[in-house]
Amino acid sequence: MSNKRFSLALHGGAGSAPGHDYGVEVAHMRGLVEAARDRLAAGANALDVAVETVVALEASGLYIAGRGASPNASGIYELDACLMDGASGRAGSVAALQGFESPILAARAVMERTPHVMLAGEGAAAFARTQGLKTIADPATWFTHAGAFEANHPPDLPTGTVGCVVRDGEGRLAAATSTAGVFGKLPGRVGDSPIIGAGAWADGQAAVSCTGQGEYFIRTAVAVQVAHRMRFGGESLASATAAAIQGVAGLGGDGGLIAVDREGHVAMPFASDGLKRAALFPDGTIMAEAF
């Protein structure tokens, strides 16, 4: 067991359903943080823990990503994901991927088994097939919310996403994000979640995963903005993340993010009507909440 300190944060998306009791999600997120803590204590690296956590978030069907995804305006499930390894600077991404259980595993395969960073649409699916990734036989029975989004989804880009950021015992940072995007999106619409620097970023400074109205997160390059504020402006993680979220709000968007820095600090600011989030702090304290 490593004695070195580590920390992490995860999110289950910005935005909340009024009156919904999030007790199940909070217990689930806490369990994932505990599992990630045990993996880190045993010496697992940041990238593996971030990916494993996002795979579990996707598979739960509790959040608007992976099995819990919402369809686009044509009733088709097009999912986005990306990840970045701060230690190596490598990144992988899939956009508008159809037919696979875990978009984050497809993104990892792009990073590790192609010379590319991002694959989209048909090409992404064709590649995922060659990697033996698990396919979805029947979307109507696979997706836990199938049918629930058809009638009257709320206006103004309502959202849901999952993500995880990790600082491991060796000081390595990693970030991973996976989403179905915004409800009722146009076919082919791609948000921030698979865009390196917008929906996720990790380098030697910070690891960031975002959630919210992706159009605004792309326009303000939120994830890399946080790291660059720290690197080039000397800001703290708390100050850099707060400023980046204020930039989104200043344009009229909403959302939040989770971040860790190389010292293990954790920040989870948001400017939205809710955020499902959990964290392990360097002193071993765990928090999990949703509202």
The site for ligand ASP (CB under 6 A) is made up of 13-14, 159-161, 179, 181-182, 191-193, 211-214
Shortest separation between residue 65's beta carbon and ligand ASP, angstroms = 8
Q: Which is nearer to ligand ASP, 184 or 264 (CB)?
A: 184
The two three-digit tokens of residue 241, written as one number:
């993340």
Q: Other C-beta atoms within 10 Å of 122: how many?
A: 11
Shortest separation between residue 191's beta carbon and ligand ASP, angstroms = 2
Shortest separation between residue 103's beta carbon and ligand ASP, angstroms = 12
**Helices within the chain (DSSP H only):** 23-41, 46-60, 103-113, 121-130, 139-142, 214-219, 222-233, 237-250
Do residues 97 and 128 touch, judged by C-beta distance below 8 A?
A: yes
Q: Which is nearer to ligand ASP, 191 or 264 (CB)?
A: 191
The two three-digit tokens of residue 163, written as one number:
């993500």
Q: Which is nearer to ligand ASP, 6 or 77 (CB)?
A: 77
The two three-digit tokens of residue 94, written as one number:
């899939």
Q: Which is nearer to ligand ASP, 40 or 70 (CB)?
A: 70
In sequence order, the 6+-apart residues with CB closer than 8 A to the CB of 21 are none
Q: Other C-beta atoms within 10 Å of 232: how many?
A: 9
Q: Which member of 161, 177, 179, 211 is catalytic?
A: 161
Q: Which is nearer to ligand ASP, 86 or 199 (CB)?
A: 199
Shortest separation between residue 44's beta carbon and ligand ASP, angstroms = 26
CA atoms within a 13 Å half-sphere pointing along the CA-CB vector of 11: 36
Shortest separation between residue 173's beta carbon and ligand ASP, angstroms = 21
Q: In the block, which residue shows the tokens 């504020």?
A: 229
In angstroms, the CA 80 to CA 289 distance is: 25
Catalytic-residue membership of 114 = no
In angstroms, the CA 189 to CA 236 distance is: 34
Q: Other C-beta atoms within 10 Å of 139: how many?
A: 15
Q: Catalytic site residues?
A: 161
